[in-house]
Amino acid sequence: MAASRGELLGLTADELAALMVDWGEKPYHGRQLYGALYRRRQLDPESMTELSRSLRRKLESCVISLPRLQKRQRAADGTEKYLLELADGEKIECVLIPERKRNTLCISTQAGCPLDCRFCLTAMLGFGRNLNPAEILGQILYVLADRNLAIYSEGDGSRPALTNLVLMGMGEPLLNLDNVLKTLIILADPGGMAFSPRRITLSTVGLVPQLRKLAQAPVVPNLAVSLSATTDEVRDRLMPINRRYPIDTILRACADYPLKRNQRVTFEYVLMDGVNDSDDDARRLVKLLARLRSKVNLLPLNPGNANGLRPSPPERVNRFREILTGRSLPAYVRKPRGMDIYAACGQLHLAAGHHSRTTRTSRLDAIS
């Protein structure tokens, strides 16, 4: 049950226990190894001193590796973007967003993206492949080590802690659902990384069958849905996946998503001048979300878009928000972070300069 190339990262406690049995060891050694990898983040077998010397020698034949840093950029606001290379040469990006009381890490679930959202620079990369759990977790482990961060649940105040995770980087998480679900189990396991699901957010365009599977998963994160339109006609143009899963279908799935007390589904709405930012759009959005426990994050379009779209002017953004809040729909204008290094939402594209692909591979009919 070991992963390809003998990779140990990404294996669950049960898989590591089974691996130990295959090796003629006791199953509990799998739990010890699991704690060493994820709880104590020990990647060198020699540091796992609770294991016998003979078992540590066996582990030396396995792979315990993190992605390699290709480039790091730091924005004027302190946001840091990491370009990371995977074992097969694929490149991905993740972003650390520091704030006064919290530190958020935005991680990728795919190399590139197969969707073709018109306002997203990442879409221009095309699609490489899904990331496996080791590669998703590897982003987190790399940044924790690089910045000497604790995880919030283990922090004692002596060093800054990583408090929030968002699966909002490159790719559509629900197109890589099996690997994402396995990652979430390891993240949330008290014997693993002990990251509360309440501090993990998954962002999706709204793939309805996978969204319903996520709602029934062992670990259910916060849900953020990229909506960005109030009519199917406009969303079809901005987000072609809407032709398969239109707005009403997505909202019905969101209505069934399990929410704990004080939780809401977040709807991300990228405001584009003259496209989706009218007063009528705001009123329609209120009507669409009226029966949902929801909130809206308003994001002015990032500059540098290649499709001729323009960000809504500040006065239009404020007016849009006023209409929402005036009708009791919580709405927040999110200040883009790391824009000067293209680290804001929908801007991850630095890998394009290092990418082996020269054509886009986005195809709606490839989305199951």
> Which residues participate in catalysis according to the annotation?
93, 345
Going by C-alpha positions, the residue among 196, 217, 307, 208 that lies closest to residue 252 is 208
CB atoms within 10 A of CB 55: 18
Which strand (E) or helix (H) includes residue 182? helix 177-188
Count of all residues that appear for the chain in the document: 368
Beta carbons within 8 Å of 233's beta carbon, 6+ residues apart: none
Q: What 3-state DSSP class applies to 74?
A: strand
Cα separation, 30 vs 69, whole angstroms: 29
126, 170 in Cβ contact below 8 A? no
Phi, psi (5° rounding) for residue 176?
A: -125, 45
Going by C-alpha positions, the residue among 343, 349, 296, 348 that lies closest to residue 104 is 343
Beta carbons within 8 Å of 190's beta carbon, 6+ residues apart: none
Q: Which two tokens stand for residue 1?
A: 């049950």
Q: Is the dihedral of CA 31, 37, 42, 45 positive or negative?
A: positive
Strands 265-271 and 222-226: parallel
Q: Which two tokens stand for residue 353?
A: 């300069």
Beta carbons within 8 Å of 106's beta carbon, 6+ residues apart: 94, 95, 96, 97, 166, 168, 169
Q: Which two tokens stand for residue 287?
A: 């009507």
- CA–chain centroid gap for 320, Å, is 27
Cα separation, 145 vs 119, whole angstroms: 33
Cα maximum dimension of the chain? 69
